[in-house]
């Protein structure tokens, strides 16, 4: 059983004009596929070839040292991109609703404050990486964080990722060149808050956020 490139919940041209199909052809079709391929290669012979991705990353210390960094880089690449695709949507943007909206108000003061903090994390992640909205079950709080390369909170904590923005240049260079602030602003128009809310409900219930199937390929 091997990890496979998951289908996106929308057609590759459905996010236009905010995210172009021509960018996604590379970002999803080439970059994400390469992480999946290299993850499968790295897992060969470890006995963890079929371990679901979230479980794999949450227990990455169990991977033999010689393979561990490759699993962090490529397993993280696979997980982070999948979460990213799944929280984007056509006709999206706007504000979060219901329980998530209340929790954001509680932990950040207001949605605007949250947006500022999240955009700031995305802006100040030096070099390649991600900014995150994570759920911290230890104190029942939402947390904005950032991470380098393909790292995420599963690898280092009990926190659960709810939403993320890719700030590697490959995510935005074709459309926005070096203008990361423009990309962050565009990202807010692409967020499917219903999907983020679903992740929030799963995280609170202690459930897996991304159930990705492996396939006999
Ligand atoms: Mn990317």
Is the peptide bond between 46 and the residue preceding it cis, with omega within 30 degrees of 0?
no
Return the closest-CA partner of residue 76 out of 156, 169, 184.
156
Q: Where in the chain is the domain with CATH 1.10.287.990?
A: 21-86
Which listed CATH number (3.55.40.20, 3.20.20.210, 3.50.50.60, 3.30.70.1400) goes with 98-210?
Answer: 3.55.40.20
Cα–Cα distance measured from residue 142 to residue 205, given in angstroms and rounded to the nearest whole number: 14
Return the closest-CA partner of residue 194 out of 55, 47, 94, 46.
94
Q: 88 C-alpha to center of ligand 1: Å?
A: 13
Q: 127 C-alpha to center of ligand 1: Å?
A: 13
Cα angle 182, 16, 212; round to 5? 95
Mean pLDDT value across the chain: 95
Q: 106 C-alpha to center of ligand 1: Å?
A: 31
Q: 129 C-alpha to center of ligand 1: Å?
A: 9
Q: 9 C-alpha to center of ligand 1: Å?
A: 17
Is a pLDDT exceeding 80 seen at residue 164? Answer: yes
Q: Tens digits of per-residue pLDDT, 107-160?
A: 999 999 999 999 999 999 999 999 999 999 999 999 999 999 999 999 999 999
Q: 24 C-alpha to center of ligand 1: Å?
A: 10
CB distance 60 to 71 below 8 Å: yes
Sequence-ordered list of residues with C-beta below 8 angstroms from that of 90, at least 6 positions apart, any chain: 10, 14, 15
**Any idea which fold 21-86 has?**
Helix Hairpins (1.10.287)
Q: Where in the chain is the domain with CATH 3.55.40.20?
A: 98-210
Q: 27 C-alpha to center of ligand 1: Å?
A: 6
Q: Tens digits of per-residue pLDDT, 88-101?
A: 999 999 999 999 99
**Strand partners of residue 136:** 141
Q: 59 C-alpha to center of ligand 1: Å?
A: 23
Q: Tens digits of per-residue pLDDT, 45-82?
A: 999 999 999 999 999 999 999 999 999 999 999 999 99
Q: Tens digits of per-residue pLDDT, 186-195?
A: 999 999 999 9
The pLDDT confidence band at residue 216, using thresholds 50, 70 and 90, is: low
Return the closest-CA partner of residue 50 out of 64, 39, 61.
39
Q: 149 C-alpha to center of ligand 1: Å?
A: 10
Residue 130, both tokens: 């991600």
Could you give the count of Cα atoms lying within 13 Å of 59 in the half-sphere of its Cβ?
8
- Dihedral of CA 31/145/162/217: which sign? positive
Q: 168 C-alpha to center of ligand 1: Å?
A: 6
Cα–Cα distance measured from residue 205 to residue 182, given in angstroms and rounded to the nearest whole number: 35
Is a pLDDT exceeding 90 seen at residue 18? Answer: yes
Residue 206, both tokens: 């202690």
28 secondary structure, DSSP code: I
Q: 119 C-alpha to center of ligand 1: Å?
A: 17
Q: 169 C-alpha to center of ligand 1: Å?
A: 8
């Amino acid at each position: 059983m091997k990890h496979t490139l998951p289908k996106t919940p929308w057609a590759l041209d459905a996010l236009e004009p905010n995210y172009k199909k021509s960018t996604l052809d590379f970002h999803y079709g080439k970059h994400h596929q390469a992480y999946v391929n290299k993850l499968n290669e790295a897992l060969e012979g470890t006995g963890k070839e079929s371990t679901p991705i979230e479980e794999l990353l949450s227990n990455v210390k169990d991977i033999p040292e010689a393979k561990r960094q490759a699993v962090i880089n490529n397993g993280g690449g696979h997980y982070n991109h999948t979460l990213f695709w799944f929280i984007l949507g056509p006709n999206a943007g706007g504000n979060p609703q219901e329980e998530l909206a209340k929790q954001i108000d509680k932990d950040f003061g207001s949605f605007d404050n949250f947006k500022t903090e999240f955009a700031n994390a995305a802006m100040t992640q030096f070099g390649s990486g991600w900014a995150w909205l994570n759920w911290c079950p230890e104190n029942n709080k939402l947390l904005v964080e950032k991470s380098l390369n393909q790292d995420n909170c599963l690898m280092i904590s009990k926190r659960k990722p709810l939403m993320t923005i890719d700030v590697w240049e490959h995510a935005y260079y074709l459309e926005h060149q070096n203008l990361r602030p423009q990309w962050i602003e565009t990202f807010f128009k692409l967020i499917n808050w219903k999907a983020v809310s679903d992740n929030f409900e799963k995280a609170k219930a202690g459930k897996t956020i991304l159930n990705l199937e492996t396939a006999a390929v």
